Chains A and B, each alone.
Chain A
Amino acid sequence: MKTINLICIIDDDPIFIFTAKKVLRLSDFGGDFLVFNNGEDAFNHLKPLYIDDTEVPDLIFLDLNMPIMDGWQFLDEFIKLKLSKVVTLYIVSSSIDPVDIEKAKEYEKISGFIIKPIDKASLRKITKKFILKK
Chain B
Amino acid sequence: MKDFYKKLLSIDDGLNTPDDTTTFLNAIQESITIGAWEVDLETMRIYWSPMTKQIHEVDPDYVPKFDATRDFYTSFKDRDLLDDLFKTAVSTGKKYDIEYQLTTAKNNCKWVRSIGYPVFKEGICIKVMGIFQDITAKANIFHETIQKEKEIRTILTHSPNGMAVVGLHGGFLSVNKSLCDFLGYSEKELLSIECKTITHPKDYDKTETQISKLLDGRFSNFQLEKRYIHKSGKKIHGLLSTSLLRDENNVPLYFIKSVINIGPMRKANKTVEKLLKTTEDQNLRLLNFAHIVSHNLRSHTGNLSMLLELLQEDIPSATNNEYFPLIQQAVKNLADTVGNLNEISIVNSKKDTGLESLNLLDFTNKAINSSIAKIIETNTEINLNINSSIIVLALPAYLDSILLNIITNAIKYRRENIAPKITISASMEGKYIKLDISDNGLGINLDLHRHKMFGLYKTFHKHKDSRGLGLFITKNQIDAIGGKIDVISEVNKGSTFTVYFKYENN
A interface residues (Cβ-Cβ under 8 A, vs B): 13, 15-16, 19, 22-23, 26, 65, 94-98, 116-119
B294 touching A26, Cβ below 8 Å: no
Knowing A94-B295, A96-B298, A97-B294, the reply to whether A15 touches B303 (Cβ < 8 A) is yes
B47 CB → nearest A CB, Å: 107
Question: In this assembly, does B97 line the interface, its C-beta being within 8 Å of a C-beta of chain A?
Answer: no
B13 at the interface (CB under 8 A from A): no
**Interfacial chain A residues near B303, Cβ < 8 Å:** 13, 15-16, 19, 116-117
Could you tell me the distance between the alpha carbons of A95 and B313 in the complex, rounded to whole angstroms?
27
Proximity string of chain B (269-312) to chain A, C-beta cutoff 8 Å, 1 when within and 0 when not = 00000000000000000000001001110110111011101100
> Is residue B447 within 8 Å, beta carbon to beta carbon, of the partner chain?
no
- B346 at interface by CB-CB < 8 Å: yes
User: How many angstroms between the C-alpha atoms of A9 and B350 in the bound complex?
Assistant: 33
Please determine whether B299 and A19 come into contact, CB atoms closer than 8 angstroms. no
Residues on A with C-beta less than 8 A from B350 are 98
Q: Can you list 12 contacts pairing A with B, beta carbon distance less than 8 Å? A: A19-B307, A19-B310, A22-B310, A94-B294, A96-B346, A97-B291, A116-B298, A116-B299, A117-B301, A117-B302, A118-B306, A119-B306
Contact A119 B309 (CB under 8 A): yes
Tell me, in angstroms, the Cα distance from A119 to B296 when the chains sit together.
19
The docked-state distance in angstroms from the alpha carbon of A13 to that of B302 is 12
Q: Are A23 and B298 in contact (CB under 8 A)?
A: no
Chain B residues with CB below 8 A from A94, complex form: 294-296, 298-299, 302
Chain B at the A interface: mostly helix, strand, loop or mixed? helix
Instruction: Give B335's nearest chain A residue, CB to CB.
Output: A117
Q: Nearest chain-B residue to A117 (Cβ)?
A: B302
The one of A13, A26, A95, A97 that contacts B310, using a Cβ cutoff of 8 Å: A26
Is B496 positioned at the interface, with any CB of A under 8 Å from its CB?
Answer: no
Interface of A is mostly: loop
User: Across the interface, do B294 and A95 meet the contact criterion of CB distance under 8 Å?
Assistant: yes
Report B-chain residues with C-beta under 8 Å of the C-beta of A23: 306, 310
Cα–Cα, bound, A28→B1 (Å): 144
Q: Across the interface, which residues of B come within 8 angstroms of A26, CB to CB?
A: 310, 313-314
- Determine whether B498 belongs to the interface, using a CB cutoff of 8 Å to chain A: no
A43 to chain B, nearest CB (A): 22
Additional 4 contacts, C-beta under 8 A, given A15-B303, A96-B298, A116-B298: A16-B303, A19-B303, A97-B291, A117-B303
Whole-angstrom distance between the Cβ of B397 and the nearest chain A Cβ: 11
Q: Which A residue sits closest to B339, measured CB to CB?
A: A96
Best-buried of B291, B296, B303, B305 by chain A (most CB within 10 Å): B303
Interface centre among A22, A26, A98 (most CB of B within 10 A): A22
Instruction: Considering the complex, give the chain B residue whose CB is closest to the CB of A15.
Output: B303
- Give the 8 A-B residue pairs with the shortest CB-CB distance, closest first: A117-B302, A94-B299, A19-B306, A94-B298, A116-B302, A15-B303, A117-B306, A22-B310
Q: A22 and B314: CB pair below 8 A? A: yes
Name the distance in Å between B307's Cβ and chain A's nearest Cβ.
6
**A15–B314 alpha-carbon span in the complex (Å):** 16
User: For the complex, what is the distance from the CA of A96 to the CA of B314, rounded to whole Å?
Assistant: 29
Which residues from B are CB-within-8-Å of A16?
Answer: 299, 302-303, 306
For B313, the closest partner residue in chain A by CB is A26
B 306-330 binary contact with A (CB < 8 Å = 1; else 0): 1101100110000000000000000
Q: How far is the CA of A118 from the CA of B291 in the complex (A)?
A: 20
Query: Would you call B342 an interface residue if the criterion is a C-beta within 8 Å of the partner chain's C-beta atoms?
Result: yes
Closest to B290 in A: A97
A13 touches B306 (CB 8 A): no
Kindly state the separation between the CA atoms of A35 and B384 in the bound complex, as whole angstroms.
59
Given the complex, which residues of B lie within 8 Å of A22, measured CB to CB? 310, 314
Distance (Å) between the CB of B288 and the closest chain A CB? 12
Rounded to whole angstroms, the CA-CA distance of A97 and B350 in the bound complex is: 11
Kindly state the separation between the CA atoms of A22 and B310 in the bound complex, as whole angstroms: 7
Taking the nearest CB of chain A, how far is it from the CB of B24, in angstroms? 103
Select B307's contact among A15, A65, A97, beta carbons within 8 Å: A15
CB of A13 within 8 A of CB of B299, answer: yes
Task: Say how far A113's CB is from chain B's closest CB, in angstroms.
Answer: 14
